[in-house]
Chains A and B, each alone.
Chain A
Amino acid sequence: RKEVEQDPGPFNVPEGATVAFNCTYSNSASQSFFWYRQDCRKEPKLLMSVYSSGNEDGRFTAQLNRASQYISLLIRDSKLSDSATYLCVVKQGGADGLTFGKGTHLIIQP
């Protein structure tokens, strides 16, 4: 079983719509969770951290369910510029590197 699993998509969504992604992780000892965004042939960029209480940043809302070991990302009022690959990322804590999911490819259509 992969450590971090995501639906690769692509998700084709009309501009202005709401879209949600889920991600599951296998290591129950995981401590920190993030959503990164990666544009084609570019480095990943931190979109937001994910907390158990849920957190919102503008049009983006992230949720963490530790009991079920899944993380979600909701994008409201999607823009063309939201087209990218969204990476679910988990950190085990300490000095470990990050564990990345394969990413979910989102295409916002005009």
Chain B
Amino acid sequence: GAVVSQHPSRVICKSGTSVKIECRSLDFQATTMFWYRQFPKQSLMLMATSNEGSKATYEQGVEKDKFLINHASLTLSTLTVTSAHPEDSSFYICSARARDSWYSNQPQHFGDGTRLSIL
């Protein structure tokens, strides 16, 4: 069964809307969560790394004021796309790395992804 739950799976909204995506680790504590983005026919690109209780680290070219990340607990990280525009339409995927558990045999556990479409 899924070990990382991502919600919502699909969002369609108007330009200018802010969209929040949740990523939850199930059955394990995730000290680190990652947010990726994938445009059609492109590779997954790491956007940011978030550690519980501290500020996220953003990759070069990713606007931290546009993509707000909150990692308030060991099981939940949220990504908010503020004032989304059509060029933000993409597939957003989170992943979580387990601290000390059976789940640490994989480098990261991925959520199902969120397909965001901005009209």
The answer for the CA separation of A32 and B105 in the assembled complex, in Å, is: 13
Interface residues on B, range: 20 to 34
A97 and B106 within 8 A (CB) = no
The answer for the CA separation of A59 and B2 in the assembled complex, in Å, is: 25
B107 and A100 within 8 A (CB) = no
Min CB gap B99→A, angstroms: 12
Tell me the nearest residue of chain B to A97, going by C-beta.
B46
A99 and B46 within 8 A (CB) = yes
A-B contact pairs, 22 of them (CB 8 A): A32-B107, A41-B91, A41-B113, A42-B112, A42-B113, A43-B93, A43-B110, A44-B44, A44-B93, A45-B110, A95-B49, A97-B34, A97-B36, A97-B46, A98-B34, A98-B46, A98-B108, A99-B46, A100-B36, A102-B41, A102-B43, A103-B43
A46 and B43 within 8 A (CB) = no
Given contacts A42-B112, A89-B107, A97-B46, 9 further A-B contacts (CB under 8 A): A44-B93, A49-B107, A87-B43, A91-B107, A95-B49, A97-B108, A100-B43, A101-B43, A102-B42
Q: Mark B45-76, 1 if CB is under 8 A from A, else 0.
A: 11001010000000000000000000000000
Q: Mark B98-115, 1 if CB is under 8 A from A, else 0.
A: 000000001110111101
Residues of B within 8 A of A41 (CB): 91, 113, 115
The answer for the CA separation of A95 and B112 in the assembled complex, in Å, is: 22
Min CB gap B64→A, angstroms: 16
Spell out B's residues near A (CB within 8 Å): 32, 34, 36, 41-46, 49, 51, 91, 93, 95, 106-108, 110-113, 115
By the criterion of a CB under 8 Å from any partner CB, how many residues of chain A are at the interface? 23
Tell me the nearest residue of chain A to B44, going by C-beta.
A100
Residues of B within 8 A of A43 (CB): 93, 110-113
